[in-house]
A = this chain, B = another copy of it.
């Protein structure tokens, strides 16, 4: 793979998500060679993927070329490839473009969609973890509305206009809210022959509240927001199957041509670290307070794929952006200390709070013991997301698109560029 030989230690990083890039950001002037692997040539700002799915933002606004992030790092190399295996005996990774030895390995591969073993759901539902998947959802939504507009069968039209989302975590809630706003803003104006009431958004959740990781106050408020937007919320309901036509739950069935699966994720580890490194249930690497994988010296895991048991978080930190960013930063600093012969400092998580947006002027925030909701929370949500978005250009374009969509009740990116033809 044409990585130059070096006398310095070689640090290999797998994954250019929040953990990977915040780690690398610390290493601008380190005496080490850094090689980053990712299957995409861009960083994805995952918290805004749902806006791509619902035609609010262009994909290019929430993606950022990985090579550019590290343009100024010395002896930095990016390779777009799939990492298939880690050979601990020779300290080598095996990738789709060849093998590479390393001195330190940082695994920041995040999570993938969890279908809990249901092959039907895996085959027929739409997951949303990557930009191409989000674009597929965008195409499918628009295609189904186009189809609904041209057919005369009422039953089929209702099926095409029925949108069902499994999982009321942040992704599911934000998607449901955005789809409800799509109905209000777009369906009415662009599809005058379609009856607004025939389009339905169903949100199905197994537990007894939406946004379960947030405070009860936030759950209550966001449920209210969803209901106000006309989303049908089904709590305490487990999805059992989906054959491409009907979503089957214990209590009710839903005919739909668009079933979005946001009901769970599981770790996306790389094979090769045997023993107790990987916790079977969570599929996450068990790490110590320095993010070092237990039993593997010089092997680190960051963010969603890492599980660090602490007093405050006995089951590990939440699988969201902040722990990944903070762990990456800590490990970056520690790596510099390590190479300078100093001892590492343990990670401690600073909880900045949690937020989710449901729609126009409708968001919920938990910050420490404070809970607030509504327009102010919504502005705060926008500000925070713009702040963390990588790249000045992306921030400006996103800010402009939001302002434009807000003023015009529009979602401007509703283009079927690559029709979705099934998986």
Interface residues of A (CB under 8 A from B): 1-2, 4, 40-42, 58-61, 63, 65, 67-68, 71, 77, 79-80, 97, 131-132, 135, 142, 146, 149-152, 189-191, 193, 391-393, 396-397, 400-401, 404, 410, 412-418
Q: Is the CB of A2 within 8 A of B150?
A: yes
Q: Is the CB of A393 within 8 A of B397?
A: no
Q: Which 3 A-B pairs have the closest CB atoms?
A: A67-B190, A58-B60, A42-B415
> Which secondary structure dominates where chain A touches chain B?
mixed
Q: Give the chain B neighbours of A193 by CB distance below 8 A.
A: 2, 4, 77
Q: Give the chain B neighbours of A68 by CB distance below 8 A.
A: 189-190, 410
Given contacts A41-B142, A393-B401, 11 further A-B contacts (CB under 8 A): A2-B150, A2-B151, A40-B416, A59-B417, A65-B412, A131-B415, A131-B417, A135-B417, A391-B412, A396-B404, A397-B400
Q: Is the CB of B415 within 8 A of A404?
A: no
Q: Is the CB of B63 within 8 A of A149?
A: no
CB distance from A149 to the nearest CB of B (A): 7
CB distance from A191 to the nearest CB of B (A): 7
Q: Is the CB of A393 within 8 A of B412?
A: yes
* A60-B150 in contact given A400-B396, A401-B393, A417-B132 (Cβ < 8 Å): no
From the candidates B63, B191, B400, name the one contacting A415 in the complex (CB within 8 A).
Answer: B63
From the candidates B63, B142, B146, B413, name the one contacting A417 in the complex (CB within 8 A).
Answer: B63
C-alpha gap A175/B375 in the complex (Å): 46
